[in-house]
Each structure stands twice: as structure tokens, then as C-alpha cells.
Amino acid sequence: MPSPEIEHHRNEQPAELISGVISDAPDLAIAEVDKLKAEAVTQVKTVGEEVKIVSVGALILTVAAIMLGVAISLAIAALGLPAWAGFGIVAVVFGGAGYLFITKRRAVAKAAS
């Protein structure tokens, strides 16, 4: 059973219907923009929270990597090399690994674009 509102619109002339649609269009556009703004604000808040969590995780992983480097350096020193040599070897290895990660990232970015 059609609603009374639909029955009312069936009796309107096409010019009246088009006029009604045109007069409603700005309201609909404003409502859509407001909805998009609200969604954007919500997404920004969510991303902000994720960035905080990832930052804390990255800090913890950085401390773990430093401690691992110190442990490996001291293990090398325990093998009879001077401590400075152990730390130097670990620094070169970590630096090489970092360089490889950076160059791989660039290669992946170039392939993706």
C-alpha cells in the first residue's frame, strides 16, 4: 500500500517535482558534506591513537635492538677482541642491515608506482 506522501507526489506536475528536487539538492549536499566531515574526524582520531601505540612499540623495539647490539658486542669482546672492536663490528653490521632495508624500501616503492 503506497504511503500518503507518495500519493501526494503522484498528483504533482513534473515542474513541481523538479522544483522540489532542485530545492532539496543543497540540503542534501550539505548533509553529505557534514557526514563526510564527521567520518574524517573519526578516522583522524583513530589514526592518532594508532600512531601513539606504534610509536611506543617502536621505542621499545629500539631499546631492544640497542641491548641486543651491546650483548653481541660484549660477546665478541669475550672472545678475546678489544671491546671497541666488538662494538665496531656490530655497528658496521647494523649499519649494513639498515642500508639494505632502506634500499629495498626504495625498490619496492619504485616497483609499486
Enter the DSSP assignment of 9. H
pTM of the complete model: 0.54
In this predicted structure, the answer to whether residue 5 has a pLDDT above a threshold of 60 is no
Distance between CA atoms of residues 105 and 35, nearest Å? 37
Query: What is the DSSP track for 13-79?
Result: -HHHHHHHHHHHHHHHHHHHHHHHHHHHHHHHHHHHHHHHHHHHHHHHHHHHHHHHHHHHHHHHHHT
Can you give the pLDDT at residue 109?
76
pLDDT digits (tens, 9 = 90+) for 22-34: 877 888 888 888 8
In this predicted structure, the answer to whether residue 36 has a pLDDT above a threshold of 60 is yes
Would you say how long the chain is, in residues?
Answer: 113
* Residue 54: all three cell numbers together: 606504534
